[in-house]
């Protein structure tokens, strides 16, 4: 079985593995207070041109989201997200479980628009009794989005402007960040993200690490006493150096972006090939998630050798599936897949 359903099916990039092996016997202080974590933090601060930024490491994405949101909001506030946002849909109510509503607006191709945030805030503050409703308290976006789409510089600046207007922190969930940064549309760098966002993550799990998300916080207020809340949410890893080590390896000389680039290349190769065979795509994604539409009987045949993520039925006899590439996706597996897919009728 060759699996394409997601991008966390294999272990970590060989260079990351090598670093883990080499440092295994060393002693290092616990809970992220070791020199390796500090080194990784410095690398991240330099990449972001943000010498004052705080950097915290987490094992997983749901942990980051619930911890940062819990640390940022007061009890009556909610996090604004588009309706396809990960926190709105796929975290089993982690945000609500820490007391906060996710305030959703319709998505635009997987993205939250500045106009939607503005409309939601305008509506809230023009209520006769806004204090009977949840107050917008921060803005959540993911980049790439859950649909594989990527924000432009322009769009991020507009979101920043609307956040400034309503005094809302802007948080960007970068679970697949390198894939966004390396896609052709991307017209900004990490320093821009550090400037435009109050906080954002470098996702590791889907980009060459065994696990891990690095959270960068440039808004000093959001970072106040952050480690208490990290611990409270079960996010402080005892052997924290495992996180520092992986991010140091991924970010010290560009491996992270290289992995993103390679994921995109494989994904776009699949896309072009399928388009040439006459298949349509539900979503126009420039990153490592692709959403082709296949006849159901073809999917039935393919599932003996390949696995995909089911996305949705598009009509009575067709379905959209998600194909993900990862750091480990092999050309030969992709070619085998493409060979097994005939031209569309």
Query: Of 6 and 344, which CB lies nearer to a copy of itself in the complex structure?
Result: 6
What backbone phi and psi angles, to 5 degrees, belong to 2? -105, 125
- How far apart (Å, rounded) are the C-alpha atoms in residues 165 and 288? 34
Tell me the closest approach of the beta carbon of residue 192 to a copy of itself, in angstroms: 28
Query: Of 194 and 242, which CB lies nearer to a copy of itself in the complex structure?
Result: 242
DSSP 63-77: HHHHHHHHHH--TTE
Tell me the closest approach of the beta carbon of residue 305 to a copy of itself, in angstroms: 13
Do residues 201 and 173 lie in contact, with contact meaning Cβ atoms separated by under 8 Å?
Answer: yes
Query: Of 3 and 109, which CB lies nearer to a copy of itself in the complex structure?
Result: 3
* DSSP type of residue 101: -
Long-range residue pairs from 307-316, CB within 8 A, at least 24 positions apart, any chain: 307/1, 307/2, 307/3, 307/4, 307/5, 308/4, 308/5, 309/4, 309/5, 309/6, 311/282, 312/282, 314/282
Query: Of 67 and 143, which CB lies nearer to a copy of itself in the complex structure?
Result: 67
Tell me the closest approach of the beta carbon of residue 93 to a copy of itself, in angstroms: 4
Do residues 292 and 310 lie in contact, with contact meaning Cβ atoms separated by under 8 Å?
Answer: no
Query: Of 24 and 343, which CB lies nearer to a copy of itself in the complex structure?
Result: 24
| 213, β-bridge pairs | 58, 203
Query: Of 26 and 42, which CB lies nearer to a copy of itself in the complex structure?
Result: 26
Query: Of 218 and 329, which CB lies nearer to a copy of itself in the complex structure?
Result: 329
Any idea what the Cα angle at residue 206 is, between residues 324 and 337, rounded to 5°?
Answer: 25
Tell me the closest approach of the beta carbon of residue 301 to a copy of itself, in angstroms: 20
Task: With residue 117 as reference, give the H or E element that holds it.
Answer: helix 114-125
Tell me the closest approach of the beta carbon of residue 9 to a copy of itself, in angstroms: 4
Tokens read off for 195: 């400037």
Tell me the closest approach of the beta carbon of residue 203 to a copy of itself, in angstroms: 10
Tell me the closest approach of the beta carbon of residue 21 to a copy of itself, in angstroms: 6
**Residue 211 CA: distances (Å) to CA of 7, 31, 34, 73, 240:** 12, 16, 18, 27, 12
Which burial class, exposed, middle or buried, applies to 167 when counting CB atoms under 10 A from its CB (0-12, 13-18, 19+)? exposed
Query: Of 71 and 217, which CB lies nearer to a copy of itself in the complex structure?
Result: 71
Tell me the closest approach of the beta carbon of residue 87 to a copy of itself, in angstroms: 11
Tokens read off for 207: 């980009």
* DSSP type of residue 282: S
Which burial class, exposed, middle or buried, applies to 126 when counting CB atoms under 10 A from its CB (0-12, 13-18, 19+)? exposed
Query: Of 15 and 153, which CB lies nearer to a copy of itself in the complex structure?
Result: 15
Tell me the closest approach of the beta carbon of residue 100 to a copy of itself, in angstroms: 6
């Amino acid at each position: 079985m060759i699996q394409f359903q997601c991008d966390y099916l294999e272990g970590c990039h060989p260079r990351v593995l090598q670093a883990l092996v080499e440092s295994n016997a060393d002693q290092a202080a616990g809970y992220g207070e070791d020199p390796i974590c500090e080194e990784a933090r410095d690398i991240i601060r330099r990449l972001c041109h943000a010498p004052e930024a705080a950097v915290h490491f987490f094992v997983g994405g749901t942990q980051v989201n619930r911890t940062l949101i819990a640390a940022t909001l007061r009890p009556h506030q909610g996090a604004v997200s588009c309706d396809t946002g990960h926190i709105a849909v796929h975290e089993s109510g982690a945000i609500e479980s820490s007391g906060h509503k996710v305030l959703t607006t319709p998505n635009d191709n997987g993205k939250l628009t500045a106009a939607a945030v503005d409309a939601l805030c305008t509506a809230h503050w023009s209520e006769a009794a806004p204090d009977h409703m949840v107050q917008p308290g921060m803005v959540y976006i993911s980049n790439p989005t859950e649909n594989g789409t990527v924000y432009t510089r322009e769009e991020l600046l507009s979101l920043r402007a609307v956040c400034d207007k309503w005094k809302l922190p802007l948080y960007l969930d970068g679970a697949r960040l390198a894939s966004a940064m390396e896609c052709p549309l991307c017209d900004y760098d990490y320093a821009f993200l550090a400037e435009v966002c109050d906080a954002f993550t470098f996702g590791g799990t889907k980009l060459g690490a065994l696990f891990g998300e690095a959270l960068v916080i440039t808004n000093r207020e959001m970072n106040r006493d952050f480690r208490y809340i990290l611990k409270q949410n079960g996010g402080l890893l005892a052997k924290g150096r495992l996180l520092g080590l992986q991010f140091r390896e991924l970010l010290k000389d560009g491996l992270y972006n290289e992995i993103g680039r390679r994921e995109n290349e494989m994904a776009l190769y699949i896309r072009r090939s399928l388009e040439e065979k006459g298949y349509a795509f539900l979503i126009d994604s420039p990153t490592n998630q692709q959403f082709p539409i296949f006849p159901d009987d073809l999917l039935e045949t393919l599932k003996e050798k390949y696995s995909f993520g089911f996305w949705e039925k598009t009509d009575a006899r067709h379905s959209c599936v998600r194909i993900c590439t990862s750091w480990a996706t092999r050309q030969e597996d992709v070619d085998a897949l493409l060979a097994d897919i005939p031209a569309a009728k």
